[in-house]
Amino acid sequence: MSGKLIIFSAPSGAGKSTLVHYLLGRGLNMEFSISATSRPPRGVEKDAKDYYFISAEKFRQMIDNKMFIEHEEVYKDCYYGTLHSEVERITASGKNIIFDIDVKGGLNIKRQFGDRALAIFIAPPSVEILHQRLNTRGTDTPEMIKRRVEKADFEMTFAAQFDLVIVNDDLEKSKNEAEQAIRHFLNSESV
């Protein structure tokens, strides 16, 4: 059955993006929901592939024009949001949609779509390990890492509201667990 929604949320550094990329290559008839953001591109990120990169001003106009299913100011002055047009585009092509979005946005979509959505929370084994991973990844300044770790503590408090929590202490195990849960969900007649 197509037209279902798979939501991945996690504190940053928990390994969510790695899992999402893996799952996109598993023949599950899923397409990635490209979010809009007002933060600038990082490294090799490309417009209309990783995100739709737009200015904060344009973002606010689009909020006023009710173009988002959900949006959050994830970090100060950094807006992120899921566009109605993106979900319509993917659904029209007969595919399921996979989201990589923050915890509040993920729960917001789950509330709107109910049984049509599977909300998965990826938890790091501990906040200390998350801290180490962010340091090793080396893509953030120490100040940004501090912000992300503080935010992670808060985000962990939402885990219980998700349909499934995967503790990412072993990447291979997490990949299998996520894939099995998604296959089961896509094959079920819950909608």
Name the residues that contact ligand 5GP, by CB under 6 A.
12, 35, 39, 70, 72, 74, 80-82, 100-102, 105
| Residue whose CB is less far from ligand 5GP, 46 or 187 | 46
CB 160 to ligand 5GP: min, Å: 18
CB 155 to ligand 5GP: min, Å: 8
CB 80 to ligand 5GP: min, Å: 4
Distance CA 146, CA 151 (A): 9
DSSP conformation letters of 99-159: EE--HHHHHHHHHHHGGGEEEEEEE-S-HHHHHHHHHHH--S-HHHHHHHHHHHHHHHTTG
Q: Vertex 15, ends 12 and 18: CA angle to 5°?
A: 120
- Spatial CA neighbour of 175 closest among 6, 16, 1, 50: 16
| Residue whose CB is less far from ligand 5GP, 64 or 189 | 64
| Residue whose CB is less far from ligand 5GP, 39 or 116 | 39
| Residue whose CB is less far from ligand 5GP, 1 or 144 | 144
| Residue whose CB is less far from ligand 5GP, 82 or 96 | 82
Q: 21: which strand partners? A: none
CB 119 within 8 A of CB 110: yes
CA distances from 92 to 8, 13, 28, 34 (A): 22, 32, 16, 15
CB 188 to ligand 5GP: min, Å: 26
Nearest to ligand 5GP by Cβ — which residue?
A: 105
CB 67 to ligand 5GP: min, Å: 12
